[in-house]
A and B are shown apart, each in its own frame.
Chain A
C-alpha cells in the first residue's frame, strides 16, 4: 500500500529531478536570483519579527502578554489561510489534474489515490506558509531565549497544524463537488476566496490592531488586560498550537503535552474521516466533473453589446484583438473575479487615509498632508504596478496555445502588441487617477499638488503599461495551467523590479523641484531664474524618462516576439 502511494508521488519527484538536471541556458541564473530573493525576504521577515518582539519585551508587565496574543493571532491567521488554500488546491489535485485520467483508468485503489493526493495537496498549499512562518517562530524562540524543548515542540506542532486544515479542506472540496460540478465549484471558490480575503482585510483594518500597542485607547488597565487575555475559541487548532508553544517559550508549567495530543489526534481523525468521505463520494463527484461548462451570463446579448462598446475606440484588426481579449477576460472567472480584490484593495487604501492621525503629528498638518501626497505618488504607482503584473503582464501569454493564429494571420506583431497596450492602458489609467484624486481629496492638498499628482500618475501609467506589455512579450508563458501562474516566476519579478525602478526615478527627479515650488508657495519664498531653469530641467528629465519607459519596453518586446519560434 505504501509502495503504491510512493509510486503515485514518484512522477513529481522525477519531474523535479529532471528539471534540475536539464536546466536550459539562463535557467541556472534565474534559479539563483529567485533563491536569493527568497532568502532575502526570509531574512527580512525574521528581522521585522525580531524587532517587534524585542520591542514588546521592553514593555513592562504587558510585553509577554502582547507577544503571546500576537502569536495567537498569527496562528489563527495561518490556520484560516491554510484551510482556504487547501480547499482551492485540493480542487485541482483531486478533480482537475490531467493525470487523473491515467490514475483512474488504472487498477489503483481509490484509498491510495486519496493518500497520494492528500500529500500532494499539503505540499502545494502549505509550503509557502511553512517557509515564511518559520522565521517568525524562530524569532520568538530567540527573543524569549527559549530552551531546546520549544524548538522540538515547534516541529511536533507544525505537522498536525498543517495536516488538519488539509483534511478539512479536502473534505469541504469533496462535499462541494458533490453538490456542484468541479468546474463550477472552481468558479465559486475563486469568487468566495477573493471575497474572503477582501472582507478579512477590511475587517482587520477596521479593527485597528495598532490600538493594542497603545494602552491609552483603553480607559482602564483592567479592560486592557482583559482584552489581552481574551482567548480565541478553545476549539480551534490554532488555540491548541498556541497553548502548546506558549509554555515552552516562557519555560513555565503548562498543558503543552495535552494540547499537542489534541493536535495529533485531530490530525489523524481528519485523515481517516477524509478517506471515508472519499470512498463514499469522490468517484461520483469526479465522474460528474467531466461535464463541460454550461453557458453563463457573459454569453448573453447584453454582455456582447457591452464588450462591443468597450472595443469601439479601436479599428480593424486591433479592434478584433481587443474584442477577443475583452470577451476572454469576462468569460474566465479567475480573471474578472480579481476585480473584486482590486475594488477591496482600493477601498482599504482610501480608507487608510481617513485613519491617518495627522492632527497628532509633530509637523504642521498642511506640510505633512502635501508631503504625504507626494509620497502617495509612489504608493499609487506601486498599486498600479501590482495590478498591472496581474492583468497587463500576462496579456501576451494569454494567447497561449492559440498564438499561432496571430502569427499566421496578416497582422503585424507591432499592431498586435500595441493593441494589447491600448486595451490595457485605459482601465489602468482609470484606476490610478481615481486613487490619486480620492486620496489627495482626503488629504486636503493644495491645488498644485493635486494637479501634479494627476499629471504624474497619468504619465507614469503609460510607462507602467508599456513595461507590462513589453516585458510580458519578452518573458511569455504560453504554456500555463492557470492565469495566476503567469506573473509568478522570473519575468514577473523582473517586471516588478523595473517598474519600481521607473517609479522611484520619477519620484526622485520630481522631489527637488516639487519641494522648491511647494515651499515657495507655502512660505512665500521667491524662486530665482536659475532656480526655475533647474526646475524645468528636472521636469524635462521626468518627461524623457516617461517617454523612454513608454517606447523602449515595447520595442524590446516587439523584437523578442518577432524572433520567437512557435
Chain B
C-alpha cells in the first residue's frame, strides 16, 4: 500500500533522507522511529506530498505522489505534528471545509459521527482558537478520517493528548487496521509502538538502520526480550547513561 523507493531529500549540503526503501502492506500499523532530527518528519512530508523528493519516489496505493498527486491524496489521510487550524472557524465549519476538499457532497452525518467519536460534540460550534492543544489535535484527527482514507500518515499522534484521548486514538488505529486501513505512524511514544505496531523502522541520520518486528529488532540489538526503549537506544547509540546532572 505504501512504497518508498530510494527516497532521498537534500537541503543544500545536508542529506536529510538518504535513499530510504520501505514497503508497508495493507492493514499494517507501521511504526517509524528515530531520534530528533533523524529525518522522520521530512519523510512523512514527502509521503503527504508537501515536499518534493530530491530523488526517488513515494507510491501510495500504487499512485506516485509526485506524478499522480490527486489520486494519491484522495486515498490518504494526513495528520501533521503541528497541525494548522483556521482559528476563526468553528470545529463544524472546519470539518465541512475539509469534507468539501475531498469532494464529499453530504458529509453531515459523517461529521457528526466523528465529532462524537472524538468527544468534540459539545465544542462543535466553538471557534478553534478556544481549543486546547489536545482538542485541536483531536479535531485534526477527526478531519483526516472524514473521507475514509485507505492510508493514514501520522506524525506524532500522541502529543498533547490526555490519557483518555491517547486511549481513544489507539483504539481507533486498531479498528482502522482491522478494516484494512494502513497506518504509517511516526512517534516517540514507544509504548504505543510496542503494543500496536506490526512492524517498525528506525531511521537515524537519514538512513534506515533497522526494520522489522519488535522481536526482530531486539535480536538485531542483541537484546532479546528487552523493552523497545533499550533496543532503540542501543541501535541509535544513545544508551550512555546521564551522569552528574
- A: residues with CB less than 8 A from B are 7, 10-11, 14-16, 18-19, 22, 98-99, 101-109, 283-284, 287-288, 290-292, 294
Contacts of A294 in B (CB 8 A): 12
Please give 15 more A-B residue pairs, beta carbons under 8 A apart, in addition to A11-B93, A106-B101, A287-B50: A7-B100, A7-B101, A10-B97, A10-B100, A15-B86, A15-B87, A99-B84, A102-B98, A102-B101, A104-B49, A107-B69, A107-B71, A107-B103, A108-B101, A291-B12
On whether the beta carbons of B73 and A105 are closer than 8 Å, the reply is: yes
Q: Which of B48, B70, B90 contacts A18 (CB 8 A)?
A: B90
* Cα distance A103–B89 in the bound complex, in angstroms: 16
Contacts of B84 in A (CB 8 A): 98-99, 101-102
* B1 contacts A by Cβ under 8 Å: no
8 cross-chain pairs, A with B, having the tightest CB-CB distances, nearest first: A15-B88, A287-B52, A107-B73, A98-B84, A106-B101, A107-B70, A105-B48, A107-B74
Contacts of A284 in B (CB 8 A): 52
With A105-B48, A105-B78, A291-B11 in contact, is A19–B97 under 8 Å at CB? no
Contact digits for B72-115, partner A, Cβ 8 Å, 1 yes 0 no: 01101010100010111110010001101111000000000000
On whether the beta carbons of A14 and B93 are closer than 8 Å, the reply is: yes
| Minimal beta-carbon separation of B137 from chain A (angstroms) | 15
* Cα distance A7–B98 in the bound complex, in angstroms: 10
Subset of 9 A-B contacts with CB under 8 Å: A7-B97, A11-B89, A15-B87, A104-B49, A105-B48, A105-B73, A105-B80, A291-B11, A292-B11
In the complex, what residue of chain A is closest to B78 when comparing beta carbons? Answer: A105
In the complex, what residue of chain A is closest to B94 when comparing beta carbons? Answer: A11
How many residues on B have C-beta within 8 angstroms of the other chain's C-beta atoms? 30
With A7-B97, A287-B52 in contact, is A106–B88 under 8 Å at CB? no
In the complex, what residue of chain B is closest to A287 when comparing beta carbons? Answer: B52
* B190 contacts A by Cβ under 8 Å: no
Q: Which of B51, B93, B101, B102 contacts A290 (CB 8 A)?
A: B51
On whether the beta carbons of B52 and A283 are closer than 8 Å, the reply is: yes
In the complex, what residue of chain B is closest to A19 when comparing beta carbons? Answer: B88
On whether the beta carbons of B102 and A101 are closer than 8 Å, the reply is: no
Q: Which of A14, A15, A101, A291 contacts B50 (CB 8 A)?
A: A101
* Cα distance A108–B103 in the bound complex, in angstroms: 10
* B45 contacts A by Cβ under 8 Å: yes
In the complex, what residue of chain A is closest to B74 when comparing beta carbons? Answer: A107
* Cα distance A104–B103 in the bound complex, in angstroms: 15
In the complex, what residue of chain B is closest to A110 when comparing beta carbons? Answer: B69
| Minimal beta-carbon separation of B48 from chain A (angstroms) | 5
Contacts of A99 in B (CB 8 A): 84, 86
* Cα distance A499–B49 in the bound complex, in angstroms: 51
On whether the beta carbons of B102 and A107 are closer than 8 Å, the reply is: yes
* B127 contacts A by Cβ under 8 Å: yes
Interface residues of B in 26-75 (CB under 8 A from A): 45, 48-52, 69-71, 73-74
On whether the beta carbons of A18 and B51 are closer than 8 Å, the reply is: no
* Cα distance A104–B76 in the bound complex, in angstroms: 12
* Cα distance A379–B198 in the bound complex, in angstroms: 73
Contacts of B71 in A (CB 8 A): 107
On whether the beta carbons of A18 and B50 are closer than 8 Å, the reply is: no
| Minimal beta-carbon separation of A116 from chain B (angstroms) | 12
Contacts of B76 in A (CB 8 A): 105
In the complex, what residue of chain B is closest to A106 when comparing beta carbons? Answer: B101
Contacts of B93 in A (CB 8 A): 11, 14, 18
* Cα distance A199–B69 in the bound complex, in angstroms: 45
Contacts of A7 in B (CB 8 A): 97, 100-101
With A106-B101, A107-B102 in contact, is A290–B50 under 8 Å at CB? yes
Contacts of B86 in A (CB 8 A): 11, 14-15, 99
Contacts of B45 in A (CB 8 A): 290
| Minimal beta-carbon separation of B13 from chain A (angstroms) | 11
